[in-house]
């Protein structure tokens, strides 16, 4: 009996080791829930994320372009900014953005804190200034109290604002996708077609760029390696940051987590469907024309990357005071 028990224990250890080894060999890793989070900072950041008073119009918030009910994006080719301006580039998803090597398509922001301040002061986005945004917050008693509770200071500054928004955004990870369940050993989490799609995804070379926890977001790559990518968009990619012509059309590889929710695709939002995106990426990046059946299997696999979406009570924003400047949505 003892020998049987010992044999069973050894077998369990071997199976566990085998599963761990198999997981380590996969180019995609399980996405983990957020850790080491300051809850007070998160709660403040959540309010700021949803507060349109950080914009000149009093109408645009972070959630306008990175809608947490729509995969962390806005599902239009380029976002709508202050005074109905058309944005120059597709809004990347905020979900799992803490896993990116840098923020924005061109990587001009090193981290979430640096990114959070950009749209507020961009005349084509929220159309405000950091100074004016802080002045608005300082006239709202509820914010004054909460900032003091969180930071222990009497004065609000833009660093506190962006730090709070970034801390909230760190919580926006999407674990427990069916693909993660498969990685963790649930053999029946994927269908035969989805497994075949993952096989094609690996064999064709997609994993050279789309790998890791976020299935992307950890490198910059040229759009149009085998064939040039034709677009009317003016964004130059990393070249807009570095000034180097060699970096032209190099963009941050987007995450494929929740990709079925984050259409349209590419930096210019030109691909409306996953089928179209897979076809274009196959031809332009890999020099491979996927058959309709192959394309459908890859799309089926990509849909298994949808994880648990952020779920929380909608924040109730503190009311403005009589001293709070009123927005001017139609001002020229």
Alpha helices in the chain (DSSP H): 2-25, 39-50, 62-65, 112-121, 130-138, 141-151, 158-170, 178-183, 192-203, 239-242, 274-281, 292-302
In the block, tokens 């890859």 appear at 298
In the block, tokens 């010992």 appear at 6
At 16 the pLDDT is 45
Residues noted as catalytic = 125
At 332 the pLDDT is 73
At 23 the pLDDT is 60
Please write the tens of the pLDDT for every residue from 138-172. Answer: 999 999 999 999 999 999 999 999 999 999 999 99
Please write the tens of the pLDDT for every residue from 2-37. Answer: 445 444 444 444 444 444 445 668 999 999 999 999
**Does residue 107 surpass a pLDDT of 80?**
yes
At 245 the pLDDT is 95
**Does residue 119 surpass a pLDDT of 90?**
yes
Nearest to residue 213, comparing CAs of 258, 262, 266, 166?
A: 258
Q: What percent of the chain has pLDDT over 90?
A: 91
For residues 184-194, give the mean pLDDT.
98
- The mean predicted confidence, pLDDT, of the chain is 93
Nearest to residue 162, comparing CAs of 118, 129, 122?
A: 118
Dihedral sign from CA coordinates of 89, 305, 209, 310: positive
In the block, tokens 């096989």 appear at 199
C-alpha radius of gyration, the chain, whole number: 23
Please write the tens of the pLDDT for every residue from 53-62. Answer: 999 999 999 9
**Does residue 202 surpass a pLDDT of 50?**
yes
**Does residue 252 surpass a pLDDT of 70?**
yes
For residues 269-278, give the mean pLDDT.
98
Which helix (H) or strand (E) element contains residue 252?
strand 250-252
At 113 the pLDDT is 97
Q: Which residues pair with 86 in a beta bridge?
A: 80
CB 38 within 8 A of CB 32: no
At 192 the pLDDT is 98
CA distances in angstroms from 176 to 17, 216, 280, 299, 313, listed in the order given: 21, 17, 29, 19, 21
Task: Give CA–CA dist 81/123, Å, rounded.
Answer: 8
CA distances in angstroms from 120 to 62, 137, 179, listed in the order given: 9, 13, 36
Provide CB contacts within 8 A for 150, sequence distance 6+: 40, 41, 44, 160, 164
**Does residue 222 surpass a pLDDT of 90?**
yes
At 24 the pLDDT is 60
């Amino acid at each position: 009996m003892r020998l049987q028990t010992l044999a069973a224990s050894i077998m369990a250890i071997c199976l566990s080791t085998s599963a761990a080894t198999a997981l380590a060999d996969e180019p995609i890793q399980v996405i983990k829930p957020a850790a080491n989070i300051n809850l007070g900072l998160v709660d403040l950041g959540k309010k700021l994320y949803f507060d349109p008073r950080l914009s000149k119009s009093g109408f645009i918030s972070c959630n306008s372009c990175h809608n947490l009910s729509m995969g962390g994006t806005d599902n239009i080719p380029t976002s709508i900014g202050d005074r109905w301006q058309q944005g120059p580039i597709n809004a990347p998803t905020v979900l799992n953005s803490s896993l990116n090597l840098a923020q924005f398509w061109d990587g001009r922001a090193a981290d979430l804190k640096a990114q959070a301040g950009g749209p507020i002061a961009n005349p084509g986005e929220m159309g405000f200034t950091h100074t004016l945004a802080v002045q608005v917050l300082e006239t709202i008693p509820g914010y004054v109290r909460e900032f003091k509770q969180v930071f222990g200071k009497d004065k609000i500054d833009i660093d506190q604002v962006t730090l709070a928004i970034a801390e909230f955004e760190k919580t926006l990870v999407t674990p427990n996708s069916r693909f993660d369940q498969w990685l963790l050993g649930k053999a029946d989490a994927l269908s035969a077609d989805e497994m075949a799609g993952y096989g094609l995804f690996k064999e064709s070379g997609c994993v050279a760029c789309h790998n890791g926890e976020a299935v992307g977001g950890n490198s910059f790559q040229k759009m149009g390696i085998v064939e040039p990518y034709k677009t009317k968009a003016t964004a130059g990619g990393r070249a807009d940051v570095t000034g180097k012509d060699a970096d032209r059309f190099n963009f941050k590889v987007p995450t494929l987590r929740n990709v079925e929710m984050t259409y349209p695709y590419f930096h210019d939002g030109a691909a409306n469907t996953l089928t179209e995106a897979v076809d274009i990426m196959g031809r332009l990046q890999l020099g491979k024309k996927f058959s309709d059946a192959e394309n459908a299997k890859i799309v089926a696999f990509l849909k298994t990357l949808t994880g648990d979406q952020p779920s929380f009570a909608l924040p109730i924003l503190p009311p403005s005071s009589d001293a709070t400047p009123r927005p001017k949505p139609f001002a020229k």
